[in-house]
Chains A and B, each alone.
Chain A
Amino acid sequence: MAELAAVVGIGQTRYKTRRTDVSIAGLLREAVDRALADADVTFDDIDAVIIGKAPDMFEGVVMPESYLADALGAMGKPMLRVHTAGSVGGSTAIVAASHVQSGTFKRVLTVTFEKQSESNAMWALSTPQPFSVHLNAGAGGYFAPIIREYIRRSGAPGDIGIKVAVKDRRHGARNPLAHLQLPDITEQEVRDSMMLWDPLRFLEACPSSDGACAMVIAAEDSITGSKPPAWIRGVAMRSEPTMYAGREEVNPQAGRDCAADVYAQAGITNPRKDLDCAEIYVPFSWYEPMWLENLGFAPEGEGWKLTQEGATSLDAGGDIPWNCSGGVLCSNPIGASGMIRFAEAARQVRGDAGAHQVEGARLAMGHAYGGGAQFFAMWIVGADKG
């Protein structure tokens, strides 16, 4: 990549169960206006708009980008829609960053959203297809057997998922934008919540949220705003097929390759040591230990030990806090969830993460995955240019 690029503006809505007061356009615009203000720019300063969301079938609006051009100030400008299932928030940010890094544009506005209250995500993910495996219980039903296999292989204690669920909700209580505000949640409460997809209980699953997240990404010679930029030190995406006989689903190859690529770009050799914090896509509790291993923060079979000893907890003073914002377990406007991870990583290295700030964070990772854990998008952002 020829040009250095940075995040100079971030805008998010407050994540909520229902935003019936606004149209889809109005929801996006809220995040966009905040991102533009944060970057101290207007639509006139934006060269292109990159939008992402999860499958059109969720809200039932086909190609929503075509109706959103005016709300996003895209008149007379290039506009591009990105779609990679649940990882789309991350891949959209990467597409936006690439348009700046390539030298094509100086300043790009990127935004992602989901209005789950108007949509039908659970069943849109569970459509019976003739001659195909029938997935009949949404994302949780798909991932639960993979989690059970992880527990079998690693011998992890049964309460690791419960610990993640409590840890991320306590983190979320520090973040006023987080959908779930559960400052007093206990392990017992999680344990007693209804079993949805063994071993995932109700409180070990993400909520359904309405919300949008936007960023302004600028080239090195076009930095604006009063806050420090978050320099983009590496971006990577990888994909693999959803299912085939013999596929490694617990520790997907595409995730490992994607992490190796992004670490190499950012000069990271030991992610647990080199990074100050990470915002990782954990929609179901057990995906924390699984991704700790997939992303090389722990040897295979030992990710759960980091969770158990509090290494990923801000409240426990862990050395590598994960999801200080509360993560996907606190807020899940699906199409935006990946971008929120990327934006929250940027907030950390800008020193602008409020009560969930990791003291002195200089280097952070944003991560998203989607589909049947088959699409991966990752970036590393830093307070320094590198």
Chain B
Amino acid sequence: MAAAELLSQEFELGFTYTRSTGPVVGKFLTGLRDGKVYGVRGSDGRVLVPPAEYDPVTAAPLTDFVEVGQEGRLLSWCWVSEPREAHLLQQPFAWAMVQLDGADVPMIHCLEAPSAEAVTTGARVSISWADERQGFITDIRCFTLLQGAAS
């Protein structure tokens, strides 16, 4: 007896959505558009970047914004030797955990570097802004290495 034919069909679904960022994430993204980076001070005194809308420890609403530096320290990284199309950088780059000066926690972004050999944990890095900024995290084009300033 022949096996029964089981039917299947391709099915694609797409929708449009909008999103309101609210007063905290909105402040951060608006800051990026203006070439500034804002964090927020948490209940334990730490400056969180990107800012959290509610305290991760006490759940209190956070409103004490702090502008942090545009340079920082590379805490950890992972080299991407074959970037994918969706990646911001099309040359080999590093995913980087960067703690900006004045921040108490690292944030993740891309680091542009000539090769993996050029990157060392603890290196000093700096924001490289996008030519046109519109309030997205990609307004930070990437981070770049500061020469001869490893700490």
Contacts and interface: CB of A to CB of B under 8 A. Distances in A.
A284 B11 CA distance: 31
A19 B20 contact: yes
A355 interface: no
A25 B19 contact: no
Interface string A88-129: 000000000000000000000000000101111001100111
A367 interface: no
Contacts of B7: 131
Given A22-B20, A70-B52, A124-B15, A130 B59 contact: no
Interface stretch (B21-29, B99-107, B113-121): B21-29
A120 B15 contact: yes
B67 interface: no
A25 B20 contact: no
Contacts of B2: none
Nearest to B17: A60
Interface in A121-163: 123-124, 127-131
A128 B9 CA distance: 12
Interface residues of B, number: 26
Given A71-B59, A131-B7, A119 B54 contact: no
B21 A23 contact: yes
A121 B3 CA distance: 41
A118 B52 contact: no
A30 to B, nearest CB: 10
Interface in B1-44: 7-9, 11, 13, 15-26
B53 A26 contact: yes
A107 B56 CA distance: 22
A197 interface: no
B58 to A, nearest CB: 8
Interface string B47-77: 0000011111111010000000000000000
Contacts of A129: 11
Interface of A: 19-26, 29, 43, 57, 59-60, 70-75, 115, 117-120, 123-124, 127-131
Given A23-B21, A70-B56, A71-B54, 19 more contacts: A20-B20, A21-B23, A23-B53, A25-B22, A26-B23, A26-B53, A59-B17, A60-B15, A71-B53, A75-B56, A75-B57, A117-B18, A118-B19, A118-B20, A124-B15, A127-B13, A129-B11, A130-B8, A130-B11
20 contacts: A22-B22, A23-B21, A23-B24, A23-B26, A23-B53, A25-B22, A26-B23, A26-B53, A29-B61, A60-B17, A70-B52, A70-B53, A70-B55, A72-B59, A75-B56, A75-B57, A115-B20, A118-B19, A127-B13, A130-B11
